Amino acid sequence: MEGWVSIFFNIMHELLKKDLKNIPSILSQAKRLAVEHFESQDEKPAGRLVQDISLDDLPIKGIGAEQTLNHFERNFSTQLSNSAGSRYFGFVTGGSTPASVVGDWLVSAYDQNACGSNDSIAPQIEKQTMHFFKQLFGLDDAYFGSFVTGATMANFVGLAQARHWVGEQYGVDFSNEGLIRPVKILSGTPHSSIIKSLSMLGVGRKSMIKVPTLPDREAVDLEELERNLWEASAPLIVVANAGTVNTVDFDDLEAIGQLKKKYNFWLHVDAAFGGFASISEKFAHLMKGINHADSITIDAHKWLNVPYDAAMQFTRHQSIQLKVFQNSAAYLSDPEKSPDYFHYTPENSRRWRALPSWFSLVAYGKEGHSEIVERNCELAKQLGVWIDSSESFKLLSPVRMNVVCFTLKKENFTIEEINSFLDRVRDDGRAFFTPTFYKGVPAIRAAISNWQTTSDDMEITINALKELSYVPA
C-alpha cells in the first residue's frame, strides 16, 4: 500500500512535467516577447482605449506554458498600455530600467518570501536597499524603512503610526483599544490616497481639515497652518506635501519642522515622487527639512523607474510601527529582531520587492538616477516654454519640476472640450496626457517621469499638440 502511494504521487501532471523539462525554451519565448516590447515601444501608440474582455470559461484541460504564451501573444499582448513608453505623460508614470527588469524577473524565478528570518538573504537585501535609499534621499540613519506596494500603502503605514501616536498622547492604546477618540489631520493639498487611507484606518475622511494654501500655489500657508495648530491645542497629524501632482509644489518642510518646537503633532510627508528632488543638486533645496518628518512616503515605481509595484515607507518611530503592525502568532520569531518585516508592514507574506530597486541603484548609481530626474525636468521646462508661447494653450502654473499643468487658451471652455481634445490626442497615439482640475479649472497634466524620454520625444509631442489643437473655423 505504502509503495503504491509513493509511486502514485511521483507522477506529476503531464503538462507540469513537460513544462519543467522545457523551462529553457519557455523562458526564451517570454524573453522574445519582452525584447519585442522594448524594441517596439517607440512605434506603438502612447495611449489606447480597449474593449472589455469577454469572459471565457475556466479551462478544465490546460494547454501548457508555451501554448498559453502563444494565446496571450496573439490575443492580448497587442492591447496593453504603452505606459512604460517615452511619451506616456499621464498620472506620474515611470517605466522600467533594464536593470530593474532583470531584478524583477529574478524575483519571480527565486520566489522568496521576504517576510524576515535568516533563511534567505532576501530580507537582508531589502535592508541594504533601504540603506541605499536613506543615502540617496539624504535621510538620517535613525529612519527605519520598508517596501510596500505603492505610495498609497506607504501613506497608510505612516498614518497608521500617526494615529497610534495621537492615542499615546492621550494615554490610550488605539492599536489595542480601537479608535476611541477622534483624530484630526491638517494638510494643504493632500493627495487623494491620504483621504483614502483615513477611510481605511477608521479615522474617517471627514477628519481631514484642509488648510488654505498660499495665493496661486498648492503649498500650505504657514500662518494658516499655525493658526489651526494653535486653535486645536491638541495632538494632531500634519500631512506635508513634497511634490503635489498638479504643479509639483512643495510645502516648506523646514518651517513646518520648526513648528514642532511649539506644537505637538506628528509630521507625515508625502513625497511620492517629489522626494526625488533630493537626488539632484538643482532641486535638493525643495526637500530641505525632510528630516523633521516622523514618517515619509516615497514611490519607487514612479520616478525610480522600476516595475510596479513598489514604494517605500520610512519612520523615525520603529517601535510605534511595531506596535501597530506586530503579528504575534506563536510560530513567528521575536519581533525585536530585525528585519522581520512582517511585524512592521501590512503584509505578512511579502514579495521580494526590493530586488528591482536594488538592481537599478547598483547598476546606475545616484548619478544615473539623478540624470533621469534632471533630464525629465529639463524636458518639462521645454514643453512649458512652448505652451507659454502657443496660441492654443496656456500654462496654469510655473513648471517647477517634471509636471506641466496647462489648459486651453480660449475663453469659457468646458470639461467636455478638454476631454474630447484628450481623446483626440490618445487616438492620434503620439503622446498621452490625463485631465485634472487645477484651482477649479479643467486642465491637462503632462508628467514627464520616464527614463527613456528625450528631446526628440518632446518635439514629436509638441508637433502633435500643435496639429491636434488646430480646429478649422
Binding site for ligand PLP (CB under 6 A): 92, 150-152, 191, 193, 243, 245, 270, 272-273, 299, 311
Closer residue to ligand PLP (CB): 154 or 464: 154
Separation of alpha carbons 126 and 409, rounded Å: 48
Residue 436, SS3 per DSSP: strand
Q: Kindly state the smallest distance separating residue 132's Cβ from ligand PLP, in Å.
A: 20
Q: Toward ligand PLP, which CB reaches closer, 242 or 320?
A: 242
In DSSP notation, 1-14 reads: -HHHHHHHHT---H
CB nearer ligand PLP, residue 92 or residue 162: 92
Residue with smaller CB distance to ligand PLP, 92 or 408: 92
Decide whether 243 or 307 has the Cβ nearer to ligand PLP: 243
Nearest residue (CB) to ligand PLP, 302 versus 381:
302
Report the distance separating Cα 391 and Cα 376, nearest Å: 24
Q: How far is the CB of 287 from ligand PLP (least distance, A)?
A: 13
**Distance separating alpha carbons of residues 101 and 112, to the nearest angstrom:** 17
CB proximity list for 307: less than 8 A, separation 6 or greater: 96, 100, 101, 104, 301, 356
Nearer to ligand PLP, 151 or 290 (CB): 151
Q: How far is the CB of 269 from ligand PLP (least distance, A)?
A: 10
**Residue 107 or residue 306: which is nearer to ligand PLP going by CB?**
306
Our CB check for ligand PLP shows the closer of 168 and 309 to be 309
- Report, in Å, the least distance between residue 308 CB and ligand PLP: 8
- The minimum distance between CB 126 and ligand PLP, in angstroms, equals 18
CA torsion, points 415, 421, 423, 425, in degrees to nearest 10?
-150
- From the list 115, 139, 183, the residue with the least C-alpha distance to 345 is 115
Please report how close the Cβ of residue 26 comes to ligand PLP at its closest, in angstroms: 31
By CB neighbour count within 10 A (0-12 exposed, 13-18 middle, 19+ buried), where does 328 fall? exposed
Query: Whole-number minimum distance, CB 65 to ligand PLP, in Å?
Result: 31
Q: What region does 373 belong to: left with phi over 0, alpha with psi -120 to 50, or beta?
A: alpha
The owner of cell 518635439 is 459
Residue 435 contacts residue 444 (beta carbons within 8 Å): yes
> Minimum distance between the CB of residue 97 and ligand PLP, rounded to whole angstroms?
18
Q: H/E/C letters for each residue in 155-204?
A: HHHHHHHHHHHHHHHCCCCHHHHCCCCCCCEEECCCCHHHHHHHHHCCCC
Q: How far is the CB of 391 from ligand PLP (least distance, A)?
A: 31
Tell me, what DSSP letter sits at residue 414? -
Cβ at position 196, least distance to ligand PLP in Å: 9
Half-sphere exposure of 49 (CA within 13 A, CB side): 7
85 vs 243, beta carbon nearer ligand PLP: 243
Element at 299 (helix H, strand E): strand 295-299
Pairwise CA distance, residues 148 & 354, whole Å: 10
Tell me how far, at minimum, the Cβ of 289 lies from ligand PLP, in Å: 17
Cβ of residue 194: shortest distance to ligand PLP, in angstroms? 7
Backbone angles phi, psi at 389, to 5 degrees: -100, 0
Nearer to ligand PLP, 149 or 321 (CB): 149
Distance between CA atoms of residues 153 and 350, nearest Å: 14
**DSSP state letters, 376-388:** HHHHHHHHHHHHH
Comparison of 126 and 251: residue with beta carbon closer to ligand PLP: 251
Which residue, chain included where needed, has cell 505610495? 151
